[in-house]
Structure 1
Amino acid sequence: MNLLLFGLLNIIGILLALVIGAALLTWIERRLLGFWQDRRGPNRVGPFGSLQVVADMIKILFKQDWIPPFADRYVFVLAPAVVMVAGLLGFAVIPVTPSIGIAGNWNIGVLFFLAMASLSVYSVVLAGWASNSKYSLLGGMRAAAQMVTYEVFMGLSLIGVVMLSGSFNLTDIVRAQRNIWFIIPQFIGFIVFLMAGIAETHRLPFDLPEGENELGAGFHTEYSGMKFGMFFIGEYIGILLTAAMITVLFFGGWEGPFLPPILWFMLKLSVFVIFFILLRAALPRPRYDQLMSYGWKVLLPLSLLNVVITGAVMLASGPAG
């Protein structure tokens, strides 16, 4: 009974932390962007504009929930739910600490994460198609090509980590980094995974599916109200998921001296979330053909090279243990 109660508290606590954290991240991003771009950011509603999130939530909940008459109604409604469900399910395999996590000790954790990342593609593709709008459709097609392409590199970048740890279990991967974080032997894999993660969450500079300049807002052009908000909450959940995976795979997860494990995990995760926001403040958006060329001509060779080098080093160093 105690184990069941602990498991339920784990699930409810992580889900609440994710949704609340994704909402707060909208305020944190605005404040940091204002600081880096030498402007104020939100500063009117509440201390330092901290209640701006609440104001936005009230506004979006009371906006008219309009469905265009030319849209495919059922698919149109389903699409924003898919991105949130995929992001929340992805967190099921994240081991926050040895005792905090829904299924952090699952022996196919890496594969499950990749599966949920693939599932999120359906959200933007279905949204673009169901809207029956040329701007939305173009955004959906861009998203399909971009996300499917960068999933290839994301999967290849993790092969080295799996080879070194000898497991798909994320808890085992964290424990394998007690002596040295995988960022050192797997630096190439880390760079490829980082780039692929930014593209998967279609954050700047890889936000081509939205393309405000040329597509209005891309795949969610026709959305309003809470369905519009679900896309953005899903995007921020995706940022948190990518930062959490980087922490677990390359930076030792909860491992660290002096501080409690959960503080180490949150500290590392926060650094990468802030880095994602800094990219938005600092980098321009490339052309779409440049994005695709960069993936196939740079990231693919790098990820394959990483696998070859890792395998060669492991063979040269002899059998483990």
Structure 2
Amino acid sequence: MNPVTLAAPVGPLPLSGGVVADFSAETWWLTLVKAVFIVVFLIASVILVLWVERRGLARMQTRPGPNVNGPFGLFQAFADAAKLIMKEDFWLKGAERTVYLLAPVIAAFSAFMVYAVIPFGPNVSVLGHSTPLQLTDFPVAVLYVLAITAFGVYGIILGGWSAHSTYPLLGAVRSAAQVISYELAMSLSVLTVFLASGTMSTSGIVGAQTRMWWVVAMMPSFVIYVVSMVGEVNRLPFDLPEAEGELVAGHMVEYSSMKFAWYFLAEYINMFNVSAVCVTLFLGGWRSFVIASFWPGANQGWWPVLWFVAKIWAVMFAMIWTRGTLVRIRYDHFMKLGWKVLIPAALTWFVMVSVVTGVRTFSGTQPRTLLLVLAAVFLVVTAVLVLVPERGSEEAPSPPGGPGELVAPGQVLDAFAGGFPVPPLPGQVLPPSPRSRRQGAGAFLPADPGTAPTEGGNR
């Protein structure tokens, strides 16, 4: 074998529409600088998004929001961090101590790992070394993202189980069911991007969107991914694993101080993770479409970092807006959306894209127009199927005393007549419980007038 060939640097591999990142001139200190930058960027972004979310939700709900600590309340996040650091750190006596401590570490560690394969920009020159604005990349980078995302859920599940408490365990079980339901739909939506791009490398997918972003040609995949990513990060209306009204914060109930802070940090970093993946797969990554149409240098140098961060914050603000607009859905509706709507829709769209990709492979054409037509037809058919009610889904007749009906005084209410227990309306009474009927014969016998209460009588 020719030794010159072995010593030659490995250049970028050509792909459909672009090239992968070129790491041939990478050095160890550049890799270290990129890793430190990612950690600092994520922590600083979490501090900033806490302020943006609080101020944004406050404006949506017509209230001031944080405005005391620092100008416009900018230092509120630092005050909260100091509070968590100085707060008493308690330990549960009956908890599995090793797993109890390891669970938040797993959640936080997994959250920091996703940005390792996210491209911030093209190759730039740093102190004479040409390096891509990306920590690393490999042919199955997106599969790595899906694996790390799934592994991070173990932090939630183990945290709920190790506490040996009811509410955290319920939150952990909900989280496991939620991930299984929505990971499938998310994976199927991402597979269509693999087929259209011809690669699973993140930089290659960005390069494949030179002429058209996949949000246009892959609109069904984009919609499915956006819904699934909100479910993945446990945000409203899908924050069922930590529903405060039902589980009192779910898997995080038994955590305090910095152990709780690790969960809190992981949740917001995961929001940035799914936003970055959304931008990379569907919104052109670091490429600018509008600005580059009249400025040729918009996608060169360090400017793409600005476009990439702006897109991430746009997706983040959409999730914040969703939290301020929608309410938490019922759990059975949540599971129905995942299994009966998202997964069948994602599977159908995947088959359609596979057919188009086969046509492109054997005919040598670029059927982007056919993809657009299929996307439009698929969205129309899906909307019709979702809007048309299912057979037998009509509401069951409401029990007597429903809205608009007069209630006779003393009427006995059948609380389970409509399928769900309901409280009595004014004028209705609940039937006696079996326990009171059993105790009525002995423990609560009326005493004779003028006699002292005895055991078994009135007390």
| Structure 2 residue 208 is the aligned partner of structure 1 residue 176 | yes
Q: Deviations over 1:149-208 (max 9, x none)?
A: 211111111111000111010100000000000001111111111111111110111000
* Structure 1 residue 301: Cα displacement: 1.1
Code of the aligned partner of 1:61:
I
Alignment of 1:100 with 2:143, yes or no, is no
Partner of residue 291, structure 1: 334
Select which of 133, 142, 145 maps to 2:174.
Answer: 142
Q: 1:218-233 counterparts in 2 under 5 A?
A: 218-233=250-265
Instruction: Give the structure with the higher percent strand.
Output: 2
- 1:108: how far off? 1.0
Q: Which protein has greater RCO, CA pairs closer than 8 Å, 6+ apart?
A: 1
Q: Alpha-carbon deviation of 1:100?
A: 1.4
TM-score by length of 1: 0.97
Give the corresponding residue for 1:161: 193
Is the deviation greater in 13-22 or in 255-264?
255-264
Please give the alpha-carbon distance, in whole angstroms, between the structure 1 residues aligned to 2:184 and 2:79: 40
Which secondary structure state, in structure 1, belongs to the residue aligned with residue 121 of structure 2?
coil
Alignment check: 8 A CA contact 1:186 1:306 kept: no
Matched ranges for 1:275-314 at <5 A? 275-314=318-357
Of 17, 22, 28 in structure 2, the residue corresponding to residue 4 of structure 1 is 28
Equivalence for 1:57: 81
**Which residue matches 1:211?**
243
Greater mean alpha carbon deviation, residues 165-174 or residues 83-92: 83-92
1:58 is displaced (CA, Å) by: 0.7
Deviation digits for residues 129-158 of structure 1 (CA, Å, limit 9, x no counterpart): 011110000000000100122111111111
1:74 is aligned to 2:119: no
Asked whether the equivalents of residues 23 and 233 of structure 1 are also in contact (C-alpha less than 8 Å), the reply is: no
The CA distance in 2 between the partners of 1:148 and 1:82, in whole Å, is: 19
Cα 1:284/1:2, change in 2 over 3 Å: closer
Specify the code of the residue in structure 2 equivalent to 1:14.
I
Of 266, 273, 285, 2:309 maps to 266
Q: Amino acid of the residue matched to residue 264 of structure 1?
A: W
Tell me which amino acid in the other structure corresponds to 1:190: F
**1:23 equivalent in alignment to 2:56:** no
Q: CA deviation at 1:2?
A: 7.2
Distance in 2 separating the partners of 1:282 and 1:220: 25
Q: Which runs of at least 4 in structure 1 moved beyond 4 Å after TM superposition? A: none
Q: What CA distance in whole angstroms lies between the structure 1 residues aligned with 2:313 and 2:148?
A: 22
| Residue ranges of structure 1 left out of the alignment (5+ in a row) | none
Structure 2: tracts of 5 or more residues without a match: 1-24, 123-131, 367-459
Segment drifting more, 224-233 vs 3-12: 3-12
Tell me the distance in 2 between the aligned counterparts of 1:165 and 1:248.
12
Q: Distance in 1 between matches of 2:107 and 2:329?
A: 25
Which structure: greater helix fraction?
Answer: 1
Structure 1: distance between partners of 2:344 and 2:176:
22
Q: Aligned partner of 2:119: which letter?
A: P
The number of equivalent residue pairs is 320
Instruction: Give the TM-score normalised by structure 2.
Output: 0.68
1:315: which partner in 2? 358
In 2, are the aligned partners of 1:121 and 1:148 still within 8 Å (CA)? no
| Secondary structure class of the residue paired with 2:254 | coil
Kindly state the Cα deviation for residue 320 of structure 1 after the two structures are TM-superposed. Answer: 5.3
RMSD value over aligned CA atoms?
1.3
Aligned partner letter, 2:58: G
Aligned equivalents of 1:42, 1:10: Cα separation in 2: 33
Secondary structure at 2:216 match in 1:
coil
- Determine which structure has more spread, i.e. the larger CA radius of gyration: 2
Q: Is the 8 A contact 1:174 1:249 kept in 2?
A: yes
Q: Which segment drifts farther, 52-61 or 308-317?
A: 308-317
Asked whether the equivalents of residues 139 and 215 of structure 1 are also in contact (C-alpha less than 8 Å), the reply is yes
Percent identity of the aligned residues? 37
For residues 185-242 of structure 1, the C-alpha deviation after alignment (integer angstroms, 9 at most, x for no partner) is: 1111111111111111101110000010011110110100011111111000000000
The answer as to 2:152 corresponding to 1:120 is yes
- Report if aligned partners of 1:63, 1:225 keep a CA contact under 8 Å in 2: yes
